[in-house]
Structure 1
């Protein structure tokens, strides 16, 4: 009976493994998780503000940014997989120390602000749904996120992150509950509309700073290194060039899927708030929870619940990624042992940095500083800081002494530089609006 039961269980497992959804879950990896984590509560706040303030006219930005963010994320992933080191690790080996420390410092500060804002948004969303004290929820969410990333087995934790990405579909459901005028939405998606105003360029840079953000580069590159180290036969591609074709094919599919998913969710949020809040004349949204509260009288209780629950789900995905990318950046810069597959006692400094980033983010929510007020501008700061990081990444990816026989070339390199130029132009446009 035991043998028969074991055989049935094996057949069931094989059947599940052959299902499209299971195959999809096995295929997705660092790129998909990175893309999903891009739609964190702070990003939701930015997209909600864009939709409420500018309406359906900004949908085209998400279509425009897709190839740019996919290209720069693929380049980051290739750097990690090819060299066996993350962005910070390569910076520490090939570039001046002042540049390394400046980039890592800006990344750490921006991530701490984002963590605080995300935890605050998650707590406020839960309070909206069930009531209770927000400070207690902030601490509980922080402990849950960091406890899971520190104490769960890495393979198990990655599965948790993959399943958590499903929470983002809440915004697709909310979009269909919002009675979007699809003809106008299609027009806003395919016909670019530019307004020469400070509000437009501030929103544009905030969107770019959310979709093309430095912490995403650091996280995906470091996760490629982790995935390589976990496989007994895998080696950095510089020393195992025969593995390159399969690795690059996987990276591209994973990254394209992740960035497409990220932009689909962002577009759903923009359309939802444009079709409800902007239409009703509600143009000032300070946070994702403000958007959720404003949605209820306009789109109904169901849309409000779905929108609020999505904030909590995306936060549970994003907070560990933000804290983890900060820890990877600092740890690689200091040449510490890093990696989520390591036991805490074997990478104490790395895990301490991760916990410190989360603790500082939590602390922001318990001070007079309003993390939600700083949220929008943190996205703008991210957009400005991304430019020097992207320039260094593009130079790094082109160097044969770093990338061996796999420097980034051709259309991928062109798209990477175009992405960098777009970020730089947006920053200059914002500066011009401020001074003139």
Structure 2
């Protein structure tokens, strides 16, 4: 690789030496001036635009990353000449077993190749004939080249460039790309790990808590008091079911159950703070004036999804799933609880305890959803519900009014509105 140092006699004029000034400026920009840009796709687009302006005949470029995400194994950032934004695609687990991937330059690079290069405008060139090459040639591209993008600890990703100039890239273009790769690897790794940290936090503690943690809320005991509608859900007879079914079937059952419950909660603005074995804890902050209504809608959609899931389970010869949901409203302490080295970002307080007691009460009363009088009063939905009377609740001095839905599903969108 060429040296990044400037000549001791002064700045180089255009065309002198190995590094023309415009190209050196691109490298300086990439290493020094991108520190305030969070997203690698924006950096990649700007880098490609600068390359093109400097005379490097780049018409198409891609970055391929393997990522740690519960849904996706990888992502591709695609830039085309003339575009001001990148196209970003994600790929689900299993794509690595498809013929499209196994018969591609990416597979070659990920299998250890240091370079994949192909002239597209020369039919006499030998080598693998991937379907990608036909697509690029149809787009008027003349040469394609792919290199590994090496991150620390042997993590390998892929960068590709394609030219539309007759004859493709020349040796100076290739030399410049190769000098650019270490800087691009460094810059992309920083952004990828920042994104990874955010993704992992969002995956395990939820989007709102992850924002708090990334903003510095990592001190034990730190937190705020917030008003919230609280929902606690628990799967019935899970211990019995898990003893009857194979492990993989049990995991599939739990995932289906959590999908049915979680997606409506998140869709309506709720925050799932934790999964507790076969249960979950979620809050709907009262900063949203529609919090209580949104919680009711989420329960309605979750019950419909669970009913559909039970139909599928019956079709597979499995027993239908039962559940209990307790709902309350009140102030909760929202923050870090735990030991010196292991913290949990969650909510605690009497309001959470009451929601938990109501969930437990569903087993005795044989109603799947129980709501406190305090929640019903705040939601203004008394006419939609059945007052079951006052019940003593452990840890609470006075009995509390308990309500249940009068029909199979909580509330229609019309009545909830």
TM-score normalised to structure 1 length = 0.22
Q: Which has the higher contact order (CA 8 A, sep 6+)?
A: 1
Larger strand proportion, structure 1 or 2? 2
